[in-house]
Structure 1
Amino acid sequence: MKYLIILVVAIFGVVTATDFDRPCRLAEMSPLVKRDFQVIPYLGPWYEQRRIATDQIDLDCVMARYSLNADGSVNVQNSGYTPNGMFTEVQVRGELDSPNDVPLLGKLNVFFPGRSDIYWVMASDYANYAVVWSCLELPGGRSRENSWVLARVPNASQATRTRYEEVLRNVNIDITQMRETNQNLEECRLPQA
């Protein structure tokens, strides 16, 4: 199980992100990455709850489906709806950064057309939530950070919210900077999980 894709939920547009006048916080964030990461329990559907993302302009009803490819990599089908109700989707794949490490870390490289990005699973209980962080180095020593909170159901329970909010604090991701994703089932025509 050498490869894995992370729950980057669709690269669909342009929006203001969290840009910093510093390099990516790799040294700060690395010790906080999920240890003993497991690929198989991570597969299946995930619904975006919140995000700080540069590439998802006002998307709602965002969902990612993870499945194993024949070559051992993981395919992710990302989908969502634009503000005008247009359904959009993209497929990406990625691989574990260091698949032979023990313990296995949730550090991934995700491959999009024309580029690859780091996506680090900071925490997940596999059954309820996942918190993901990403950073892109920009010219001039600057960086752009993205992060996502995902859940196994469209609208996470209060207990799950309490848990992921605690994780966000522990890994220094500011929840006040995150956009809440609409997963209203009356508005979302989500595929069956």
Structure 2
Amino acid sequence: MSAVYLLLLMLPLVSAQTYHWGPCPNPKVQPSFNVQQYMGRWYEIAKLPASFEKGKCIEANYAVRKDGTIQVLNSQFYKDKVRVAEGTAVIPDKREPAQLGVSFSYFTPYSPYWILSTDYTSLSVVYSCTDVLRLFHVDYAWILGRSRFLPPETVRYAQDLLIGEGIDLFRMQSTDQTGCKDD
């Protein structure tokens, strides 16, 4: 009874997310992932809905800090201004360097941020999933590019990769990268 009540209380919180019944899928990640090659700027091409991403011109910039953690700077243009969120990524298990954890607050646990595939120079396919009492899961998926626009066949390749790993892309949407100011 209490699990159902908790689920009902949480539904408004996940309404802007993508959630499914049952536990998270367990997709394969990039083999021999090289974190140094991954650093730098990535532009969001498409995503599953995320309540914290409502704007346009969304990008992420990654840099290794002196302490070995990774600085994550996410920015988006929303309500007539650039909004930036700084977070920290860590590699909890050095044997699986493509399975990062990311947090944007000292008070929140690290969320999964798994790089399923990347060529480091043009495309990255990222997935995140959190189980809620093993009753349902909330997931996110991002297709990222080193440029603001990717060829349609590259986007389709990334979508097919996600679908092949059992990730439902019904709600995936393109990110508006038009009219953005570049540094």
Q: Work out whether the TM-score is over 0.5.
A: yes
**Shift, 1:56, TM fit:** 2.7
**Secondary structure of the structure 1 residue equivalent to 2:170:** helix
Q: Distance in 1 between matches of 2:123 and 2:169?
A: 15
Aligned AA (1:17): Q
Kept in 1, the 8 Å contact 2:89–2:102? The answer is: yes
Is structure 2 residue 181 aligned with structure 1 residue 189?
yes
Distance in 2 between residues matched to 1:21 and 1:166, nearest whole Å? 22
Residue ranges of structure 2 left out of the alignment (5+ in a row): 1-12
**Could you tell me how far 1:158 is from its partner in structure 2?**
3.5
* Rounded Cα–Cα distance in structure 1 between residues aligned with 2:154 and 2:134: 39
CA distance in structure 2 between the aligned counterparts of 1:105 and 1:87, rounded to whole angstroms: 31
For 2:43, the equivalent position in structure 1 comes to: 47
What's 2:141 paired with?
147
Q: Distance in 2 between matches of 1:53 and 1:134?
A: 12
Is 1:71 the counterpart of 2:67 in the alignment?
yes
Q: State the aligned residue count.
A: 169
Letter in 2 for 1:111: S
Partner of residue 37, structure 1: 33
Give the ranges of 4+ consecutive aligned residues of structure 1 lying more than 3 Å apart after TM superposition: none
Match of 1:161 in 2: 155
**Are 1:138 and 2:132 matched, yes or no?**
yes
| Inter-partner Cα distance in structure 1 for 2:53 and 2:156 | 26
Confirm or deny: 8 A CA contact 2:14 2:138 kept in the other structure: no
The secondary structure found in structure 1 opposite 2:154 is helix
Q: CA, structure 1 residues 14+91, in 2 after alignment: closer, same or farther (shift >3 Å)? A: farther
Counterpart of 1:111 in structure 2 is 103
**Which amino acid is the alignment partner of residue 180 of structure 1?**
S
Matches within 5 A, 1:79-98: 79-82=75-78, 84-98=79-93
Contact 2:53 2:76 in 1 (8 A): no
Q: Which has the larger radius of gyration?
A: 2
How far the C-alpha of 1:14 sits from its partner, in A, is 7.6
Q: CA deviation at 1:140?
A: 6.4
Q: Which amino acid aligns with 2:154?
A: T
Kindly provide the amino acid, as one letter, of the partner of residue 50 in structure 1. Answer: A
Residue of structure 2 equivalent to 1:19 = 19
Counterpart code for 1:147: A
Q: Normalised by the size of structure 2, how large is the TM-score?
A: 0.83
Contact conserved, 2:85 with 2:104, CA < 8 A, in 1?
no
CA distance in 2, matches of 1:60, 1:54: 13
RMSD between aligned alpha carbons?
A: 2.0
Q: d(CA) in 1 for partners of 2:126 and 2:99?
A: 10
Report the Cα offset of residue 189 of structure 1: 2.1
Mapped to 2, the partners of 1:57 and 1:47 lie a distance apart of 13
SS at match of 1:71: coil
Number of the residue aligned with 1:10: none
